[in-house]
Amino acid sequence: MSNDTIDVKNKRARWSWYLYDFGNSAYASVVLLAVYSAYFKNVVVGGAEGTRLWGISVGIAAVIVAVISSVLGTIADFTRSKKRFLLIFTAISVIFTGLLFFVGKGDVLAGILFFILAEIGYRAAQVFYDALLTDVSTPETIGSVSGKGWAVGMIGGIVALIVVLVPIQLQLIQYSFIITAVLYLVFSVPAFIWVEEKHTEKLPEGKSTFQLAFSNLLQTFRSVKSYKEFIKYMVSFLIYNDGIMMLMDFAAIIGATLFGMKETQLIIFVIEIHIAGAFGALLFGRISDKKSSKFAIIVSLIILIASVTCLYFIKDLVLFFVIGFLAGFSLSGAQAVSRSMVSQLAPADKTAEFYGFLSVAGRTSTFIGPLVFGTISYRAHNWYVNNGYDAVLAEQYGLLWAIGSIIAFLFAGMLFLLLVKRVSAKEPIQY
């Protein structure tokens, strides 16, 4: 095979990997960020109870994914089945995203169940999508490839939000979930066709994949002292990712409650976040390649902490859009670099397994974070109501208390990250 043919093949695989991010970002933008979260809180449930149930729903999905992701990641390493699991979980997410169409006012149980299943599919698929990063990049380009994938994902989110503006303007909000499912499906197909799994291990004779998965996980736990830097990073990620996921999961609720934003305004706001996120992912990806992943994440977290803190001092909607731009810019940068840092901290033959461990940390974060946020907001709301405050004002004050927990998690995670060894493409970890 000629070098030109190999280059074309590698480029096609890389762009197929990017396009998957384009598709699954439609789900993240419409369901998590702009439309369904606010729709569930305000229409399906209503009031502060909607915020609490939304946090519980996100948390349940997170726990389930945390339980299965590390085992599946280990299996994927030894069975060349990352794409197979990616297909299975993508299909689950697409199907139940489409079924959100049938969720209306008062359909609380169906709204929770369909969302949880769609979220499980989305989050579990992300484990295997991330694990394919090393199959479409080199150690020297992994930061920039990860950043470009994130940037393409931001564009996918923007396209999805623009498309769903039409049914939302026509007061046909539920049709936006059908559109989202179709976009997710269509743009995931190239990855299943053209991305090739290059890094895998042969299955030892006499062992099933599940036996090997559990024995390897047990061995990884036993030899945890050999992976101290990864463990420190995983703990750091668990903490600061709490803040990131809380901000993402409740962004629409914060905008609607504190600033009275309607569906169209929320979509415009999230489009702005995605545009900022595309620039952030590209910039911090390059910083990661030139300096280090650790440095890039710390800078992004500092900007994000400053942005969230500003929510206590602004009342104007225009300023909220300014803060949103800065938050989106830094948030996407932190997320894009976080996944490339894993590959620099993981042994070459354990990438999917380490991504699985990172997923356990991340999914645990998405359980703890929303639970903390929802509980603080709900209890503070009740305290203000019981002390004679207006219900609307009580809900706003409750949210402000919950926002403080976002800042606390971001800051604590950043401090713990300072303890992790500096790694880069030129200086990966040596075990």
pTM of the model: 0.73
Tell me which DSSP letter residue 420 carries: S
Mean pLDDT for 93-101 is 96
**pLDDT tens readout for residues 359-403:** 655 655 567 777 788 888 888 988 998 988 888 888 888 889 999
**DSSP letters spanning 158-186:** HHHHHHHHHHHHTT-TTHHHHHHHHHHHH
Per-residue pLDDT, 220? 61
Per-residue pLDDT, 360? 58
The more confident residue out of 38 and 47 is: 38
Could you tell me which of 98, 26, 52, 101 has the C-alpha nearest to residue 267?
26
Per-residue pLDDT, 270? 81
**pLDDT tens readout for residues 264-290:** 888 888 888 878 887 887 788 788 878
Per-residue pLDDT, 358? 66
**pLDDT category, 350, cuts 50, 70, 90?**
low
Q: Are 367 and 230 in contact (CB under 8 A)?
A: no
List domains and CATH numbers for the chain.
Answer: 13-196+210-417 (1.20.1250.20)
Per-residue pLDDT, 349? 66
Per-residue pLDDT, 410? 93
**pLDDT tens readout for residues 323-342:** 889 988 898 788 878 877 77
Per-residue pLDDT, 361? 58
**pLDDT category, 355, cuts 50, 70, 90?**
low
The more confident residue out of 83 and 281 is: 83
- Among the residue ranges 188-192, 208-212, 293-297, the one predicted with the least confidence is 208-212
**pLDDT tens readout for residues 140-193:** 777 678 778 877 887 888 899 899 988 988 888 899 999 999 999 999 999 999
**pLDDT tens readout for residues 213-235:** 667 667 666 655 567 788 888 88
Tell me which DSSP letter residue 132 carries: G
Mean pLDDT for 69-85 is 71
Could you tell me which of 301, 311, 310, 325 has the C-alpha nearest to residue 255?
311
Mean pLDDT for 84-100 is 94
For residue 153, give both structure tokens: 């994902």
Is the pLDDT reported for residue 251 higher than 60? Answer: yes
Mean pLDDT for 74-81 is 66
The more confident residue out of 109 and 367 is: 109
Number of Cβ within a 10 Å radius of residue 206: 6
**pLDDT tens readout for residues 22-37:** 999 899 889 987 789 8
Is the pLDDT reported for residue 49 higher than 60? Answer: yes
**DSSP letters spanning 345-400:** HS-GGGHHHHHHHHHHHHHHHHHHHHHHHHHHHHHHHHHHHHTT--HHHHHHHHHH
Mean pLDDT for 356-360 is 62
* 3 state DSSP class of 79: helix
Per-residue pLDDT, 235? 85
Highest-pLDDT range among 77-86, 107-116, 314-323, 342-351: 107-116
Per-residue pLDDT, 3? 53
Per-residue pLDDT, 278? 76
Per-residue pLDDT, 366? 64
Is the pLDDT reported for residue 294 higher than 70? Answer: yes
